[in-house]
Amino acid sequence: MSSLRYDVKRIYKELLYLGRDYPLGYAYFRPRLHKAFMSQKGLQGEEEIKTGIARAEHVKKEIEALYFLKKYRAMRERYGACPSAEVEVERQREIEAMAGR
């Protein structure tokens, strides 16, 4: 039982750490994270708690993916081909395909 307690604390701390980069701010993230964990405080069975931890791990992955995408999109906008150019190329290909048919 006690090892599960530490698992819960560990994932909570990892999520808190992730929250420091949250787009809406740490002040938004922290109380919500706390509430989410507190709402599950009644969990008793070992299996139930493990499922809860797995859910927290999933959320962690989602947040990491969110940060990656946000950064990637910002970088693409600044340094990659501008989206309108991509759309333009796509349209050109469509026209060529239609002409070929």
Partner 1 sequence: MSNLRILVPIKRVLDYAIKPRIAASGKAIDLTGQKMSLNPFDELSIEASVRLREAHGARISDILAFSAGPTKSQDALRTAMAMGADRGLLVDTNNELEPLAVAKILKKVVEKENINLVILGKQSIDDDAGQTGQMLAGLLGWGQATQAAEIELKDDVVKVVKEVDGGTETVQGKLPMVVTTDLRLNEPRYASLPNIMKAKKKKLDKETLESYGEGLQGRLEILEIAEPPPRQGGGKVEDVSGLVGKLKELGAI
Q: First vs last Cα of the chain: how many Å apart?
A: 68
Name which of residues 49 to 68 contact partner 1 (CB under 8 A). 64, 67-68
Does 13 bind partner 1 (CB under 8 A)? Our answer is yes
28 interacts with partner 1 by CB under 8 A: no
Q: Which is nearer to partner 1, 46 or 75 (CB)?
A: 75
**By the 8 A CB rule, do 62 and 70 touch?**
no
CB 39 to partner 1: min, Å: 23
* DSSP 8-state class, residue 25: -
Cβ nearer to partner 1, comparing 43 with 59: 59
Alpha-carbon span 49 to 52, nearest angstrom: 5
CB within 8 Å of 63: residues ≥ 6 apart: 15, 18, 22
Binding site for partner 1 (CB under 8 A): 10, 13-14, 17-18, 23, 64, 67-68, 70-72, 74-76, 78-80, 89
